[in-house]
C-alpha cells in the first residue's frame, strides 16, 4: 500500500524533470496531479468493516467497481449529477431480468482485470456479495433494501456469468447494486489473507484495498491524507484524465477556505453553506441539493400535545421557513414549503403546503386542546449545530408568540443518534434523513413506518404502513404506483409528523479543475475530475 | 549520592499508584460518557439487530467488571486495544501521532523559552523600564489571545495575504514524502537522512503553528522568570555578593539566575503538560496530525479503547515529565535529596 519513499520521489522527479520540487509541482499539477481537501477523516479503506465512517465510502467508489452504476445527467446549471433513472454497466457488460422478475443474470466484461492483472470472475462477485450480506451492520442492512439477504441467492455459473435469485421482484434490487456497498473485491487476494476468526479478511482489506477500480491507493496516512494513483488497466469506464489525486484532511473550514482561494488546492469538498455563499464569487462552487434528503422538524407522537392534529399544524404554520433557509442554509439547497398546486407528480422531496402564517397558527392552536400553549424542550445536536442552532432559535422565537415555550436542549454528538433515532425520546427536535435509493417509498419506508430507524416521531398510520409496503418494491411505471404515492404524500402532509424545512445542499468548491459530478452518496467521485480547461 | 538515588527511586515509586488510578478512572469515565458506541459504529441505517450485532462484536454486551478484567489483561500484555473508529491498534495510532504533537509542542516551548527567559530577566533587572512595559504587553497579549484565533490570523496574514508561509497542510506539504521513520520527529529524521529539502520543508510547516503556541506559552514563562528574578535579586545573598565586589554579570547569572531557575523549570513543566493537551485547536487549524485531534475524534464517537489509550499515554507522559523535572532539580539544586532541603 505504501510506496517506497525513493520510488515515490523518483516517480515525482520523472514527471517534474528537475528540482526544486516546491516550485515545479503547482505547474505540473494542472494536468497530472490534483489536490483535494476535506474536513472529514477517512478511517478505513473497507466500507464493510464495523466502524467505517461515511467519509471512507469514497474508497469503495474510487477504488472498487460495482456490477452496474447510475448514469450521468447535466443539471440546469451545467454541472454533472448522477442519474437515478439510468442504469449503466460497470463490471457487468449486460444483464437481464427474468419475466417473473426473480432472477437477474449478469454477463461480466470478459476483459475486466483487477490491479494485480488477474481476471475479474463471477466467483469474485459471489465472494464479495456473500461478504456484504454476511458481515452484518450497515452493509448487510443496505443489501437487504434490495432484497439481497443470504449468500445462497448468489451463484457464479461460469467465469463470466453471475446470477442473483430474488425472493420477490423489486424495483430496488438493481439500483441497490449501484450504491457503494456491493463492490467487487479480488477474492483470491482477500482469501489468501483470511483466517478462521476473520473469514472475510476485514483486517487486511481495512488497509489494503484489492479491487479493479479506476484508482489504486498509493498511500494512506490515517488522519492526514490519501493518495490515489490511476489504474491504467481500468475497463469499467473511460480512463480518468488525472494520474494522481492527493486528498488531504484539513479539519478547519477557515484553513480549507484559504487554501482553495489561494489556488493551492483544486477541490475543497463538502464546505459549509456560509463559505459556499461567500466563495461563489471567487471560485466555482457547486451546490447540489442532496437527493432524497430533507431537513425536518420532528414532532414526537409520544408527547401528548403533538397527538393533536391542530397543534401539529399550528407548529407547521408558525415556522419561519424563509428566514431559516436564508439564515441556516445561506440560501443553498432547495426550499420545501409553500406548495400551492395539487399533488401531481411523484417527485421527492416535494414542497409541503405549509407557509409561515402566524394568524392561521393562532387559530389552529386556539382550536386545539392546548389553546394557551405548553412547554416543550427543542432538541438539537451539537455536532450539527451549524444548521440546527440558527434554525432552533428562529423556531423558538416564533413558537413563543403562540405561547409554546421551548427550551433549546443541546445534545452531545455522541449521544444524539441514540436519543433521537434509537430511543426516539425527543418530543420536538430537528432531524435529517436522506435515502440512497432515490424513490419516495424508500424515504417513507425509513422515516414514516413505525419502529423504523428514522421515524423519530413514533408516527404510525395504518394507511401509510400499507401503502409503503405495497409501493416499496413496485415498479415505478406500474399504473398503480403514482396514485398510491400521491396518497402517501397527502397523508404525510395532513398528519405532518415531520415538517419539511428545506433540502440541504452538498457544496464543493473547485479552483483549477473540472468535471465534478454530484453523487447521492455525498462522497467525492474522483474518476470524472480533470485538470482545468485551458 | 546514595541518598540522591534513593530520592529518585522514591519519586519513581510514587508514580505507580498514579498510573493504576489513571487506568481505573479512565476506564470508568469512558463508560460514563454519553453515547452508545454500538449505535455510533453500526452506521447510518442500522437496525436494532445490527446494533446488537455490533455491540456483541465489540464485546460491549459483557458486564462492566468483565470488560475491565479483559482490559487490564490486555494492558499487562502491552496491548492498548484497538480503536474501532480507525481500525488500528491504539498503540500504533499513538506512536504515529504523539511525535507530531511533541515536535510541535517542544519547538514552541523552545521558541518561547528563547524569548521569554531573556525578556523576563531583562524586565526584572530594569523594573518599570521600556523592556518591562514591553514584557507586560506581550504577556497580556499572549494569554488573552486564544490559540485558534492567533493561528487563523497568522495564516490569514502570512499565507493568505502575503503568501510567504507554506500551505497550512500539516507536517509536510504534499510534494514531500515523510522522512524514514526513526524518532517520528520530522526535523530529526530528515537530518538523519541528510535530506535538506525535506528538513526545510518540515521546518517551514512548523514555523506558524510553533509561533502560535509559543505566543500562548510565553506569558507564564516570562512572568515566572521576572518574578523569580526579582525575588532572587532582592535576596540577602545577592546583596552580600554585590558588597563583596563580584562582577555584576557574575552576580546576575551565577547567583541570581541559577536560583531563579527552579520555579521557572517548575512552570515549564506545567506549561508543557498544559499545552500538550491544549494544542488540539492549533492542530485543527493547521491540519496537524497530532494526538489532540485523534483524542477528540475518538471522544465524539465514544471510541473507548482510543480514549483510554490516550488518557493513559498522557498520564504516563506527565509522570515521566514530572520525574524529569524533579531530576533536573537535582542538577540545579545541590541540596536535592538531602534532609536540609
CATH of the domain at B222: 1.10.3720.10
Nearest CB among A12, A138, A412 relative to B35 is that of A412
If you ran DSSP here, which 8-state letter would residue B255 be given? I
Whether the pLDDT of residue A228 is over 90: the answer is yes
**Judging by beta carbons within 10 Å of its beta carbon (0-12, 13-18, 19+), is residue A163 exposed, middle or buried?**
middle
| CA pseudo-torsion sign A44, A48, A52, A55 | positive
Q: Between chains, do B175 and A22 touch, taking CB under 8 Å as contact?
A: yes
Looking at CA atoms only, how far is residue A248 from chain B in angstroms? 8
Q: What is the pLDDT of residues B198-219, one digit of tens each?
A: 899 899 999 999 999 998 888 8
Q: Between chains, do B87 and A206 touch, taking CB under 8 Å as contact?
A: yes
Looking at CA atoms only, how far is residue B201 from chain A in angstroms? 9
DSSP A8-65: HHHHHHHHH-SS-HHHHHHHHHTTTEEEEEESSPP--S-TTSTT--GGGHHHHHHH--
Do both B286 and B306 map to the same domain? no
Q: Between chains, do A43 and B86 touch, taking CB under 8 Å as contact?
A: yes
Residues of B in contact with A257 (CB under 8 A): none
pLDDT the model gives residue A19: 37
Q: Between chains, do B286 and A255 touch, taking CB under 8 Å as contact?
A: yes
Do both B279 and B318 map to the same domain? no
**Which strands form A68-74's sheet, in the order they lie side by side?**
A68-74, A80-89, A517-518
Q: Between chains, do A138 and B46 touch, taking CB under 8 Å as contact?
A: yes
CB A125 within 8 A of CB A184: yes
Looking at CA atoms only, how far is residue A441 from chain B in angstroms? 16
| Cβ under 8 Å to A: B residues 172-231 | 173-180, 197, 201
DSSP A241-288: S-SEEEEEE---HHHHHHHHHHTSSSEEES--HHHHHHHTTTSEEEEE
Nearest CB among B33, B54, B174 relative to A225 is that of B174
Q: Between chains, do A50 and B84 touch, taking CB under 8 Å as contact?
A: yes
Looking at CA atoms only, how far is residue A242 from chain B in angstroms? 16
Q: Between chains, do B43 and A254 touch, taking CB under 8 Å as contact?
A: no
Do both B26 and B156 map to the same domain? no
pLDDT confidence band for B45 (50 / 70 / 90): low
Do both B280 and B327 map to the same domain? no
Q: Between chains, do B41 and A50 touch, taking CB under 8 Å as contact?
A: yes
CA distance B37 to B93: 19
Residue B285 covered by a domain: yes
Question: Domain span at residue B312?
Answer: 1-85+301-341
Q: Between chains, do B50 and A265 touch, taking CB under 8 Å as contact?
A: no
Looking at CA atoms only, how far is residue B270 from chain A in angstroms? 28
Q: What is the pLDDT of residues A76-126, one digit of tens each?
A: 888 899 999 999 999 999 999 999 999 999 999 999 999 999 999 999 999
pLDDT confidence band for A167 (50 / 70 / 90): very high
Q: Between chains, do B87 and A19 touch, taking CB under 8 Å as contact?
A: no
Residue B126 covered by a domain: yes
Residues of B in contact with A149 (CB under 8 A): none
Q: Between chains, do A414 and B50 touch, taking CB under 8 Å as contact?
A: no
Give CA angle at A273 (A268, A277), nearest 5°: 90
Nearest CB among B169, B176, B299 relative to A250 is that of B169
Largest Cα span, chain A: 79
CA distance B269 to A283: 47
pLDDT confidence band for B1 (50 / 70 / 90): low
Residues of A in contact with B43 (CB under 8 A): 52, 137-138, 141
B296 to chain A, any CB pair closer than 8 A? The answer is: no
Return the bridge partners of A269, or none.
Answer: A38, A508
Whether the pLDDT of residue A1 is over 60: the answer is no
CA distance A529 to A241: 7
Provide φ and ψ at A81, rounded to 5°.
Answer: -145, 155
Nearest CB among A53, A207, A258 relative to B85 is that of A53
Q: What is the pLDDT of residues B89-114, one digit of tens each?
A: 899 889 888 999 999 999 999 999 99
Name the domain count of chain B. Answer: 2
Q: Which candidate in B83, B167, B181 is best for mutational testing of the A interface (most A CBs within 10 A)?
A: B167
Please name the residue ranges forming H helices in chain B. 2-32, 37-42, 48-57, 64-76, 90-125, 130-144, 147-154, 186-192, 196-233, 236-243, 248-250, 258-278, 280-285, 291-300, 304-332
pLDDT the model gives residue A59: 96
What would the grid cell of residue B243 be?
Answer: 558588597
Instruction: Name the residue of chain A whose CA is nearest to B162's CA.
Output: A262
pLDDT confidence band for A5 (50 / 70 / 90): very low
User: Strands A375-381 and A405-411: what pairing?
Assistant: parallel
Q: What is the pLDDT of residues B123-163, one digit of tens each?
A: 988 888 888 898 888 888 888 888 888 999 999 999 999 98
Q: What is the pLDDT of residues A184-193, one digit of tens each?
A: 999 999 999 9
| Cβ under 8 Å to A: B residues 9-38 | 33-36
CA distance A406 to A12: 59
Q: Which candidate in A51, A202, A226 is best for mutational testing of the B interface (most B CBs within 10 A)?
A: A51
Instruction: Note every long-range contact of B123-132, with CB atoms under 8 Å and residues 24 or more positions apart, other chains counting.
Output: B123/B222, B123/B226, B124/B225, B124/B226, B124/B227, B124/B229, B124/B230, B124/B233, B125/B229, B125/B233, B125/B252, B127/B230, B132/B226
Cell numbers 419561519: residue: A320
Q: Between chains, do A251 and B284 touch, taking CB under 8 Å as contact?
A: yes
Q: Between chains, do A422 and B36 touch, taking CB under 8 Å as contact?
A: yes
Nearest CB among A22, A223, A418 relative to B36 is that of A418
Residue B179 covered by a domain: yes
Return the bridge partners of B89, or none.
Answer: B82
CB A51 within 8 A of CB B84: yes
Bond from prior residue into A349 cis (ω within 30 degrees of 0): yes
Residue B149 neighbours by CB under 8 Å, 6+ apart: none
pLDDT the model gives residue B339: 53
Same fold, A14-64+213-289+505-534 and A295-503: no
Note the pTM of the prediction, 2 decimals.
0.86
Q: Between chains, do B86 and A222 touch, taking CB under 8 Å as contact?
A: yes
What would the grid cell of residue A427 be?
Answer: 418530543
pLDDT the model gives residue B54: 78
Q: Between chains, do B87 and A41 touch, taking CB under 8 Å as contact?
A: no
Residue B295 covered by a domain: no
pLDDT the model gives residue A294: 96
Nearest CB among B35, B45, B175 relative to A138 is that of B45
**Judging by beta carbons within 10 Å of its beta carbon (0-12, 13-18, 19+), is residue B339 exposed, middle or buried?**
exposed
pLDDT confidence band for B44 (50 / 70 / 90): low
Q: Between chains, do B287 and A415 touch, taking CB under 8 Å as contact?
A: no
Residue B253 covered by a domain: yes
Residues of B in contact with A250 (CB under 8 A): 168-170, 287
Do both B115 and B246 map to the same domain? yes
What is the CATH number assigned to the segment(s) A295-503?
Answer: 3.10.105.10
Residues of B in contact with A141 (CB under 8 A): 43, 45-47, 50
Residue B296 covered by a domain: no
| CA pseudo-torsion sign A323, A324, A330, A336 | negative
pLDDT the model gives residue B79: 86
Q: What is the pLDDT of residues A36-48, one digit of tens each?
A: 999 988 989 999 9
Nearest CB among B160, B168, B170 relative to A224 is that of B170
Residue B118 neighbours by CB under 8 Å, 6+ apart: none
Do both B244 and B211 map to the same domain? yes
Count of CB atoms situated within 10 Å of the CB of A371: 12
Bond from prior residue into A244 cis (ω within 30 degrees of 0): no
Do both B269 and B225 map to the same domain? yes
What ipTM was assigned to the predicted interfaces of this complex? 0.81
CB A53 within 8 A of CB A45: no
Do both B204 and B176 map to the same domain? yes
What would the grid cell of residue A486 be?
Answer: 400521491
CA distance A209 to A212: 10
Residues of B in contact with A172 (CB under 8 A): none
CA distance A507 to A332: 8
Do both B128 and B180 map to the same domain? yes
pLDDT confidence band for A4 (50 / 70 / 90): very low
| CATH class assigned to A65-197 | alpha beta
B285 to chain A, any CB pair closer than 8 A? The answer is: yes
Whether the pLDDT of residue A469 is over 60: the answer is yes
The number of C-beta contacts closer than 8 angstroms across A and B is 160
The arithmetic mean of pLDDT across residues B67-87, rounded, is: 86
pLDDT the model gives residue A21: 41
Looking at CA atoms only, how far is residue B108 from chain A in angstroms? 21
**Judging by beta carbons within 10 Å of its beta carbon (0-12, 13-18, 19+), is residue B94 exposed, middle or buried?**
buried
Residue A184 neighbours by CB under 8 Å, 6+ apart: A64, A65, A66, A67, A91, A120, A124, A125, A128, A211, A212
**Judging by beta carbons within 10 Å of its beta carbon (0-12, 13-18, 19+), is residue A197 exposed, middle or buried?**
exposed
Residue with more model confidence, B39 or A448: A448
pLDDT the model gives residue A279: 94
What would the grid cell of residue A361 be?
Answer: 397558527
CB B18 within 8 A of CB B35: no
Do both B308 and B284 map to the same domain? no
Looking at CA atoms only, how far is residue B208 from chain A in angstroms? 13
- The count of residues in chain B is 341
Q: Between chains, do A453 and B50 touch, taking CB under 8 Å as contact?
A: no
Q: Between chains, do A412 and B53 touch, taking CB under 8 Å as contact?
A: no
Assign residue A65 a region: left if phi > 0, alpha if psi is -120 to 50, beta otherwise?
A: beta
Query: In terms of CATH architecture, what is A14-64+213-289+505-534?
Result: 3-Layer(aba) Sandwich (3.40)
Instruction: Name the residue of chain A whose CA is nearest to B92's CA.
Output: A222
Q: What is the pLDDT of residues A284-329, one digit of tens each?
A: 999 999 999 999 999 999 999 999 999 999 999 999 999 999 999 9
Q: What is the pLDDT of residues B281-325, one digit of tens each?
A: 899 899 998 888 888 888 877 788 888 888 888 888 888 888 888
Whether the pLDDT of residue B272 is over 50: the answer is yes
Instruction: For chain A, give every domain's residue range.
Output: 14-64+213-289+505-534, 65-197, 295-503
Whether the pLDDT of residue A166 is over 90: the answer is yes
pLDDT confidence band for A459 (50 / 70 / 90): very high
| CA pseudo-torsion sign B65, B71, B74, B76 | negative
Instruction: Name the residue of chain A whose CA is nearest to B287's CA.
Output: A250
| Cβ under 8 Å to A: B residues 74-113 | 84-88, 93, 96-97
Nearest CB among A8, A222, A258 relative to B155 is that of A258
**Which strands form A428-434's sheet, in the order they lie side by side?**
A334-335, A498-503, A293-299, A428-434, A375-381, A405-411
pLDDT the model gives residue B17: 87
CA distance B109 to B271: 9
Host H or E run for residue A154: strand A154-158
What would the grid cell of residue A43 be?
Answer: 478511517
Provide φ and ψ at A284, rounded to 5°.
Answer: -75, 125
Helix (H, G, I), strand (E, B) or coil at A505: strand
Q: What is the pLDDT of residues A358-411, one digit of tens each?
A: 999 999 999 999 999 999 999 999 989 999 999 999 999 999 999 999 999 999
Residues of B in contact with A37 (CB under 8 A): 169
Do both B276 and B341 map to the same domain? no
User: Strands A530-531 and A513-514: what pairing?
Assistant: antiparallel
Nearest CB among A5, A35, A53 relative to B174 is that of A35
Nearest to A348 by CA among A145, A141, A500, A144: A500
Do both B129 and B204 map to the same domain? yes
Whether the pLDDT of residue A73 is over 90: the answer is yes
Amino acid at each position: 500500500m505504501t510506496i517506497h519513499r525513493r520510488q515515490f520521489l523518483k516517480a515525482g522527479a520523472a514527471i517534474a524533470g528537475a528540482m526544486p520540487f516546491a516550485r515545479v509541482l503547482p505547474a505540473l499539477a494542472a494536468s497530472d496531479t490534483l489536490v483535494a481537501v476535506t474536513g472529514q477523516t477517512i478511517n478505513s479503506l473497507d466500507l464493510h468493516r464495523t466502524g467505517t465512517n461515511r467519509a471512507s465510502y469514497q474508497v469503495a467508489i474510487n477504488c472498487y467497481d460495482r456490477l452496474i452504476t447510475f448514469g450521468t445527467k447535466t443539471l440546469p446549471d451545467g454541472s454533472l449529477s448522477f442519474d437515478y433513472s439510468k442504469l449503466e454497466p460497470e463490471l457487468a457488460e449486460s444483464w437481464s431480468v427474468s419475466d417473473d422478475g426473480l432472477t437477474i443474470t449478469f454477463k461480466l466484461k470478459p476483459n475486466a482485470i483487477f490491479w494485480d492483472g488477474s481476471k475479474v470472475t463471477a466467483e469474485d462477485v459471489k465472494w464479495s456479495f456473500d461478504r456484504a450480506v454476511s458481515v452484518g451492520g450497515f452493509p448487510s442492512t443496505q443489501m437487504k433494501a434490495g432484497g439481497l439477504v443470504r449468500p445462497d441467492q448468489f451463484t457464479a455459473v461460469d467465469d463470466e456469468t453471475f446470477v442473483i435469485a430474488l425472493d420477490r421482484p423489486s424495483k430496488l434490487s438493481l439500483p441497490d447494486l449501484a450504491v457503494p456497498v456491493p463492490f467487487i473485491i479480488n477474492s483470491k487476494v482477500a482469501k489468501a489473507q483470511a483466517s478462521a476468526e476473520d473469514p472475510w479478511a476485514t483486517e487486511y482489506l481495512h488497509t489494503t484495498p484489492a479491487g479493479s477500480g479506476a484508482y489504486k491507493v498509493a498511500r494512506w496516512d490515517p488522519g492526514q491524507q490519501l493518495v490515489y494513483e490511476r489504474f491504467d488497466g481500468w475497463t469499467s469506464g473511460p480512463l480518468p484524465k488525472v494520474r494522481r489525486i492527493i486528498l488531504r484532511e484539513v479539519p478547519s473550514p477557515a484553513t480549507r477556505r484559504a487554501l482553495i482561494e489561494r489556488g493551492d488546492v483544486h477541490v475543497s469538498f463538502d464546505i459549509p453553506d456560509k463559505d459556499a455563499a461567500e466563495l461563489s464569487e471567487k471560485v466555482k462552487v457547486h451546490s447540489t441539493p442532496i437527493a432524497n434528503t430533507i431537513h425536518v422538524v420532528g414532532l414526537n407522537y409520544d408527547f401528548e400535545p403533538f397527538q393533536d392534529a391542530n397543534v401539529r399544524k399550528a407548529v407547521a404554520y408558525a415556522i419561519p421557513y424563509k428566514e431559516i433557509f436564508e439564515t441556516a442554509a445561506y440560501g443553498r439547497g432547495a426550499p420545501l414549503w409553500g406548495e400551492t398546486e395539487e399533488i401531481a407528480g411523484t417527485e421527492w422531496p416535494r414542497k409541503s403546503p405549509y407557509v409561515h402564517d402566524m394568524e392561521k397558527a393562532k387559530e389552529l392552536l386556539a382550536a386545539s386542546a392546548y389553546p394557551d400553549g405548553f412547554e416543550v424542550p427543542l432538541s438539537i445536536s451539537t455536532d450539527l449545530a451549524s444548521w440546527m442552532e440558527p434554525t432552533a432559535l428562529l423556531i423558538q422565537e416564533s413558537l413563543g408568540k403562540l405561547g409554546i415555550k421551548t427550551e433549546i436542549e443541546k445534545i452531545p454528538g455522541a449521544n444524539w443518534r441514540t436519543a433521537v433515532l434509537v430511543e426516539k425520546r425527543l418530543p420536538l427536535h430537528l432531524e435529517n434523513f436522506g435515502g440512497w435509493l432515490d424513490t419516495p417509498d424508500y424515504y417513507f419506508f425509513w422515516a414514516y413506518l413505525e419502529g423504523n430507524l428514522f421515524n423519530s416521531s413514533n408516527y404510525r398510520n395504518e394507511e401509510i404502513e400499507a401503502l409503503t409496503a405495497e409501493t416499496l418494491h413496485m415498479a415505478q411505471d406500474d399504473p398503480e404506483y403514482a396514485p398510491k404515492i400521491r396518497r402517501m404524500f397527502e397523508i404525510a402532509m395532513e398528519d405532518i409528523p415531520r415538517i419539511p424545512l428545506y433540502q440541504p445542499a452538498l457544496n464543493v468548491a473547485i479552483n483549477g479543475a473540472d468535471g465534478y459530478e454530484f453523487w447521492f452518496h455525498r462522497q467525492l467521485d474522483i474518476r470524472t475530475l480533470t485538470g482545468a480547461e485551458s | 549520592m546514595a541518598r540522591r538515588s534513593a530520592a529518585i527511586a522514591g519519586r519513581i515509586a510514587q508514580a505507580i499508584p498514579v498510573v493504576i488510578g489513571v487506568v481505573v478512572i479512565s476506564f470508568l469515565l469512558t463508560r460514563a460518557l454519553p453515547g452508545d458506541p454500538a449505535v455510533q459504529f453500526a452506521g447510518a441505517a442500522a437496525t436494532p439487530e445490527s446494533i446488537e450485532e455490533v455491540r456483541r462484536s465489540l464485546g460491549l454486551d459483557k458486564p462492566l467488571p468483565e470488560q475491565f478484567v479483559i482490559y487490564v489483561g490486555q494492558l499487562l500484555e502491552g496491548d492498548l486495544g484497538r480503536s474501532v473508529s480507525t481500525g488500528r491498534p491504539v498503540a500504533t495510532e499513538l506512536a504515529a501521532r504523539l511525535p507530531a504533537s511533541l515536535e510541535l509542542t517542544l519547538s514552541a516551548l523552545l521558541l518561547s523559552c528563547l524569548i521569554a527567559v531573556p525578556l523576563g530577566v531583562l524586565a526584572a533587572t530594569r523594573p518599570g523600564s521600556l523592556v518591562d512595559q514591553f514584557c507586560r504587553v506581550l504577556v497580556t497579549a499572549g494569554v488573552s489571545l486564544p490559540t485558534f484565533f492567533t493561528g487563523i490570523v497568522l495564516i490569514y496574514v502570512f499565507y493568505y495575504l502575503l503568501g510567504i508561509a507554506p500551505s497550512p497542510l500539516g507536517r509536510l506539504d504534499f510534494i514531500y514524502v515523510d522522512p524514514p521513520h526513526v524518532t517520528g520527529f520530522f526535523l530529526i529524521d530528515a537530518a538523519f537522512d541528510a535530506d535538506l529539502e525535506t528538513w526545510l520543508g518540515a521546518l517551514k510547516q512548523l514555523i506558524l503553528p510553533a509561533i502560535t503556541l509559543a505566543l500562548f506559552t510565553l506569558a507564564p514563562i516570562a512572568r515566572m522568570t521576572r518574578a523569580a528574578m526579582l525575588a532572587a535579586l532582592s535576596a540577602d545573598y545577592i546583596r552580600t555578593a554585590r558588597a563583596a565586589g563580584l562582577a555584576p554579570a557574575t552576580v546576575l547569572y551565577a547567583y541570581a539566575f541559577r536560583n531563579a531557575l527552579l520555579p521557572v523549570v517548575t512552570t515549564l513543566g506545567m506549561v508543557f503538560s498544559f499545552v500538550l493537551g491544549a494544542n488540539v485547536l492549533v492542530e485543527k487549524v493547521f491540519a496537524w496530525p497530532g494526538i489532540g485531534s485523534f483524542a477528540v475524534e475518538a471522544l465524539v464517537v465514544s471510541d473507548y479503547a482510543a480514549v483510554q489509550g490516550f488518557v493513559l499515554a498522557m498520564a504516563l507522559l506527565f509522570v515521566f515529565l514530572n520525574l524529569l523535572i524533579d531530576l533536573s532539580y537535582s542538577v540545579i539544586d545541590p541540596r536535592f535529596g538531602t534532609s536540609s532541603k
